[in-house]
């Protein structure tokens, strides 16, 4: 998979996670009121977790892929591949 595509996926998923965070912060007062009424912060946490699992999974997969690529090619350059003409 091309690194530019991975970088795009990381950036787009980071944006999605940020938007979910903003949405959660916007709804925080309502969730806080529910938490006060129920005596628990669990409903607020569950609402937050339900809203973003797919974006988080894609973000983590892309991040792990980039880490693997970084350790495979520490200099950032892929090894040279000889052409058939150069080999002979």
Report the number of distinct structural domains present in the chain.
1
Say if 80 falls within a structural domain: no
| Cα–Cα distance, 70 to 24 (Å, whole number) | 33
How many residues are present in the chain?
A: 88
Mean pLDDT by 10 residues, the chain (88 residues): 70 74 68 67 65 66 74 62 58
Say if 84 falls within a structural domain: no
What is residue 8's predicted lDDT score, i.e. its pLDDT? 77
Say if 10 falls within a structural domain: yes
> Could you write out the three-class secondary structure of 12-71?
HHHHHHHHHHHHHHHCHHHHHHHHHHHCCCHHHHHHHHHCCHHHHHHHHHHHHHHHHHHH
Say if 21 falls within a structural domain: yes
Domain carrying residue 35: 3-72
What is residue 83's predicted lDDT score, i.e. its pLDDT? 58
Say if 65 falls within a structural domain: yes
């Amino acid at each position: 998979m091309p690194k530019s595509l991975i970088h795009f996926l990381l950036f787009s998923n980071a944006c999605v996670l940020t938007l979910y965070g903003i949405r959660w912060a916007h709804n925080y007062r309502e969730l806080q009121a529910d938490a006060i009424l129920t005596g628990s912060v669990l409903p607020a946490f569950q609402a937050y977790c339900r809203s973003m699992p797919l974006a988080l999974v894609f973000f983590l997969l892309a991040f792990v892929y980039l880490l693997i690529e970084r350790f495979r090619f520490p200099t950032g350059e892929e090894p040279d591949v000889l052409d058939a003409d150069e080999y002979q």
